């Protein structure tokens, strides 16, 4: 995030950072796996990866944005995902532009309100990802008691779990179920 005159220049958030934002701060994943009362991850860790100055982000702002973004991952189809992302872009008043960065013109995005920058960076990341990939590459973990989100970057596009840990838990549970007598 950079201030350029009256507007704030922003870049798309890396998808890995977006996933960490949603999984770390959204209320649904935190509730489902019992992290309701647990402390949020350090804001400075995420802020450094975002390019946002840490003092400008609060747990409340991160949680509110994560809760807004979570439904994009749970949307039933590509049309609903597109509607949600478009709503976020409109709400944040995202505009394309050219920005002078170290004596070089670069494509970028801007918003008039610095408080809209986090939602805008998230929406731009989702817009670019969904335009370049199959919409079902965004998902929610199918593991027991886990609703963390993920971005499926696998070659086959058949990812079902947010992590190897959830995948292993599911495999162990299935193995135990097969081994039960009767």
What would the pLDDT profile of 13-48 be if each residue is shown by its tens digit?
Answer: 999 999 999 999 999 888 887 777 888 888 877 877
State the average pLDDT over residues 75-104.
92
Domain assignment present for 89: yes
8 A C-beta contact, residue 112 and residue 3: no
Question: Which of 41, 72, 37, 38 has the alpha carbon at shortest distance from 59?
Answer: 41
pLDDT at 127: 96
Answer yes or no: is 21 within a domain: yes
Give the whole-number percent of the chain exceeding pLDDT 70. Answer: 93
All residues at 6 or more sequence positions from 165 whose CB lies less than 8 Å from its CB, including other chains: none
Q: Is residue 154 part of a domain?
A: no
Residue 164: inside a domain? no
Q: Is residue 143 part of a domain?
A: no
Is 118 inside a domain boundary?
yes
**Domains identified in the chain, total number:** 1
Strand runs (DSSP E) across the chain, as ranges?
2-4, 7-10, 95-101, 104-111, 138-140, 149-151
Range of the domain at 38: 2-133
Evaluate whether residue 65 is within a structural domain.
yes
Q: Answer for the pair 46, 21: CB distance below 8 angstroms, yes or no.
A: yes
């Amino acid at each position: 995030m950079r201030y350029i005159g009256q507007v704030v220049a922003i870049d798309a958030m890396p998808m890995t950072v977006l996933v960490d934002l949603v999984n770390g701060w959204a209320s649904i994943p935190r509730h489902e796996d019992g992290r309701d009362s647990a402390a949020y991850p350090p804001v400075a860790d995420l802020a450094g990866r975002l390019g946002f100055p840490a003092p400008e982000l609060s747990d409340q702002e991160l949680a509110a944005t994560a809760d807004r973004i979570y439904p994009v991952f749970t949307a039933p189809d590509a049309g609903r995902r597109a509607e949600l992302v478009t709503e976020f872009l409109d709400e944040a008043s995202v505009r394309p532009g050219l920005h002078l960065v170290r004596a070089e013109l670069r494509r970028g995005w801007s918003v008039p309100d610095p408080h809209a920058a986090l939602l805008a960076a998230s929406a731009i990341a989702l817009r670019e990802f969904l335009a370049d990939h199959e919409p079902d590459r965004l998902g929610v973990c199918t593991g027991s008691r886990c609703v963390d989100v993920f971005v499926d970057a696998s070659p086959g596009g058949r990812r079902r779990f947010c992590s190897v840990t959830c995948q292993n838990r599911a495999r162990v549970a299935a193995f135990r179920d097969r081994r039960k007598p009767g």
